[in-house]
Structure 1
Amino acid sequence: MKIKVLIILTICGALSSCATYKPSNVNDLCNVLSEASWYESALDSQKKWGTPIHVQLAIMHQESKFNRTIRPDMEWFLGIIPTGRPSNAYGYAQALEGTWETYIRSTKNWNAKRDEFDDAIDFIGWYTYQSHKKLGISKWDAKAQYLAYHEGWGGYKRKTYDKKAWLIKVSDKVKRRSLEYARQYKGCRAQLDDNIRGWF
């Protein structure tokens, strides 16, 4: 009986650690994907949607720094009266409720949650695939993909980003992050693949 309880506690502990895992260095792709289940989910999204891992993770880094429960900052009137948040974005991908619901209907991923990494990375893969399909944006173009991600497909078509110099700077940062992540991935891909095989 004691052995059974110990096994159950061990399994629960392992699952809990996976659920609450947060990278210690969000600027290092190898560290971000050191949790085997995260790497497997990233590979699945890349295979399913065709957007490279480094592009997807560069977008997620910009949106949440891999914080599963992050929301836009509360806005205040006169510095003391809360007036609400600027949007209902939430989770790893900072997906809006409406866009998330569209993703769920499109993919039939009915149990998807915005604060689960595997669902969030799949959402980013899906969104970038749609941006490629609707707007002709290369899945490897982190800058343009991020602009479409931030402004929405309609906003990207209207080039709303042209009037937002700050957003252009952010998209350039996402591009640089993507290139750095790609470089890092080359150096640790073999080890990450070994981790997956060991995990099973």
Structure 2
Amino acid sequence: MRVSAVNRSWLRLAVMLVLLGSLSGCAMFAPAPPERQSNICEIFREQPDWYDAAKASEQRWGTPISTQMAFIERESSFRSHVRPPRTYLLGFIPWKRPSSAYGYAQALDPVWGEYQDDVGGIFASRSDMEDATDFIGWYNARTQRMTGVSLNNPRHLYLAYHQGQGGYNRGSYRGKPAVLRAAREVATNASRYRSQLPSCEAEFQCDAFYQVWPFCRG
């Protein structure tokens, strides 16, 4: 039976709506950003699985939990599917995005591909907190190897994260007030998170069904 041009148009529209619904559904069911992002205890109380993800990354790569969370707060405000806003052609036509940054860690396509090839695997997702924290740990470990920056120096880790290790070694961040300001803010936030975490960390270390806070420790 022949399908008329009108019917074909409706069929294409239906397929597009299904695809758009599937894509928006991924964001729809993502965790909402924490309400109190200035307090790491409140962040983990809303999303205790995020503590497990950050702790696993810290144990694997060495970047402190507080620094990982400060990076993510700065990059995405804990929004799982965020991208840079589109630019506009002629002031009103939606156009290209300024970069391919995506997800919690705002990882760019090329370096995310390197991470997947190295350790993450093809199913790693930038909109998954476990993969995002592992990516940050992996990237910072590479920064330490390539630049000598300590994993306990969130300001300079962030400069290398933003500019790339090569850019950091060239000092490309110098003369960029916005980048320097962002790095200072990350360092301040990491310090605050680091001071807050000991007061509540035991709450998130009760992983087994038989463990009850406050009678368990990591």
What is the TM-score normalised by the length of structure 1? Answer: 0.86
Instruction: Write the letter of the residue equivalent to 2:101.
Output: A
Deviation at 1:36, TM superposition (A): 2.6
User: What's the counterpart of residue 176 of structure 1?
Assistant: 188
Taking the aligned partners of 1:106 and 1:199, their CA distance within structure 2 comes to 36
What is the TM-score normalised by the length of structure 2? Answer: 0.79
User: What's the counterpart of residue 113 of structure 1?
Assistant: 125
Kindly indicate which of the two structures has a greater share of residues assigned to helix: 1
Percent of aligned positions that are identical: 36
User: What's the counterpart of residue 192 of structure 1?
Assistant: 204
Taking the aligned partners of 1:57 and 1:90, their CA distance within structure 2 comes to 16
Secondary structure of 2:95's counterpart equals strand
RMSD: 1.9
- Aligned counterparts, 1:24-103, within 5 A: 24-34=35-45, 35-103=47-115
Kept in 2, the 8 Å contact 1:18–1:37? The answer is no
Relative contact order (alpha carbons < 8 A, sep ≥ 6): 1 or 2 greater? 1
- Structure 1 stretches of 4+ with a deviation exceeding 6 A read none
- Residues 67, 125 of structure 1: alpha-carbon distance in 2 compared, 3 angstrom cutoff: same
- 5+ residue gaps, structure 1: 1-16
Kept in 2, the 8 Å contact 1:36–1:199? The answer is no
Look at both structures and tell me which one has the larger radius of gyration over its CA atoms: 2
- Residues 131, 77 of structure 1: alpha-carbon distance in 2 compared, 3 angstrom cutoff: same
- 21-30 or 82-91, larger mean C-alpha shift: 21-30
Q: Could you give the per-residue CA deviations for residues 45-75 of structure 1, whole angstroms, max 9, x where no partner exists? A: 0000011000111111100010001000111
- Residues 169, 108 of structure 1: alpha-carbon distance in 2 compared, 3 angstrom cutoff: closer
Taking the aligned partners of 1:199 and 1:99, their CA distance within structure 2 comes to 41
Taking the aligned partners of 1:18 and 1:25, their CA distance within structure 2 comes to 20
- 5+ residue gaps, structure 2: 1-27, 212-218
Secondary structure of 2:139's counterpart equals helix
User: What's the counterpart of residue 130 of structure 1?
Assistant: 142
Kept in 2, the 8 Å contact 1:72–1:86? The answer is yes
Taking the aligned partners of 2:61 and 2:168, their CA distance within structure 1 comes to 20
